[in-house]
């Protein structure tokens, strides 16, 4: 097994899960950026050609009845949410260098189920008190997320620049508590670094998201800043063990005539374990990774935990 190709497969797997998740931040508990979507080996160049990444994502988050959140035109309290999503991400890595680096394009989509419970609806569109708990469950598709990356390798040092967009074609309704789509356009950009000496690895990716207004609710999420990181050690040539984490901080407040709770700036941080393993399927080397995050701090968003199971599969012939 060629170690360089293994690393390339792992790097692809680290970036394929890009979509909104239920009850994470901002309007209706849905944000464009899903913290933790970049991880270990994120900036390492990959093998040219086609690949397919798949990610199963499970999240569970909640907040006490004393905390208020805006969901569409409603103000609600006691929000609890669970999500099970499957992300599919076909990717093509170009062989011809671009600006001295390696270019790649990926399109990410998702299908899944979201369930949201609230203890009370405190006010409706007209401002009057409605009261009473509710539950909403929804199964459908997520938005589309095109991603472009450029990566450069300099020995043990690797650099990456990326840009991505959110195209609001997913299951969304301002009248529903549970949504898989965000209901608005978004643009995100940033850069990353990976140190990798064939045994020890550390990666960090820093970025920011600009959100456009949701025309259904007249609500615009603020600019989000985010840092995803991962650290691991290859205990065998095929297996890595380590930690992952993220910091999410809303840099500017929410706005628009529909933002009834004011700027409502959100922040969160999380940490958890990871394990990755390479294995052969025919002549190809596949990669699987399991990682989990437990949020240790959350403001203006439900707090909880989430788990990612990633499988990366090269679709072309193995490198010579």
pLDDT digits (tens, 9 = 90+) for 187-227: 999 999 999 999 999 999 999 999 999 998 888 999 999 99
Q: Return the pLDDT at 241.
A: 98
* Cβ pair 160, 188 in contact under 8 A: no
Q: Return the pLDDT at 302.
A: 85
Which pTM does this prediction carry? 0.88
Rounded CA Rg of the chain: 20
Q: How far is CA 42 from CA 58, 192, 201, 283, 320, in A?
A: 21, 7, 10, 24, 23
Q: Return the pLDDT at 128.
A: 57
Which residue ranges make up each domain of the chain?
3-314
* Cβ pair 44, 7 in contact under 8 A: yes
Give the SS3 label for residue 6.
helix
Residue spans of the chain under pLDDT 50: 1-25
Chosen CATH of 3-314 out of 1.10.10.10, 2.40.160.40, 3.30.1130.10, 3.40.50.300: 2.40.160.40
Q: Return the pLDDT at 76.
A: 80
d(CA 273, CA 202): 14
């Amino acid at each position: 097994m060629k170690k360089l190709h293994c690393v390339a497969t792992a790097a692809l797997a680290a970036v394929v899960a890009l979509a909104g998740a239920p009850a994470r931040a901002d309007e209706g508990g849905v944000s464009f950026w899903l913290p933790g979507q970049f991880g270990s080996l994120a900036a390492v160049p990959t093998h040219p050609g086609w690949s397919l990444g798949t990610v199963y994502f499970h999240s569970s988050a909640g907040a006490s009845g004393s905390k208020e959140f805006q969901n569409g035109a409603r103000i609600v309290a006691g929000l609890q949410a669970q999500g099970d999503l499957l992300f599919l991400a076909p990717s093509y890595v170009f062989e011809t260098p671009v600006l001295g680096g390696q270019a790649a394009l990926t399109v990410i989509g998702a299908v899944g189920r979201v369930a949201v419970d609230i203890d009370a609806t405190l006010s409706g569109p007209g401002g009057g008190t409605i009261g009473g708990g509710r539950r909403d469950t929804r199964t459908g598709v997520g938005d589309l997320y095109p991603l472009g990356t450029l990566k450069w390798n300099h020995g043990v040092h690797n650099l990456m620049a990326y840009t991505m967009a959110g195209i609001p074609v997913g299951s969304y309704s301002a009248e529903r508590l549970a949504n898989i789509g965000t209901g608005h356009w978004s643009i995100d950009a940033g850069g990353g670094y990976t140190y990798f000496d064939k045994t020890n690895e550390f990666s960090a990716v820093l970025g920011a998201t600009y959100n456009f207004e949701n025309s259904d609710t007249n609500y615009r999420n603020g600019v989000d800043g985010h840092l995803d990181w991962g650290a691991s050690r290859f205990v065998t040539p095929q297996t890595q063990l380590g930690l992952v984490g993220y910091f999410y901080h809303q840099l500017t407040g929410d706005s628009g005539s529909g933002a009834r709770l004011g700027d409502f700036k959100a922040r969160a941080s999380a940490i958890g374990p990871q394990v990755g393993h390479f294995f052969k399927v025919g002549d190809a080397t596949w990669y699987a990774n399991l990682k989990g995050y437990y949020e240790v701090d959350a403001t203006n968003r439900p707090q909880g935990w989430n788990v990612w199971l990633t499988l990366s599969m090269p679709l072309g012939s193995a490198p010579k």
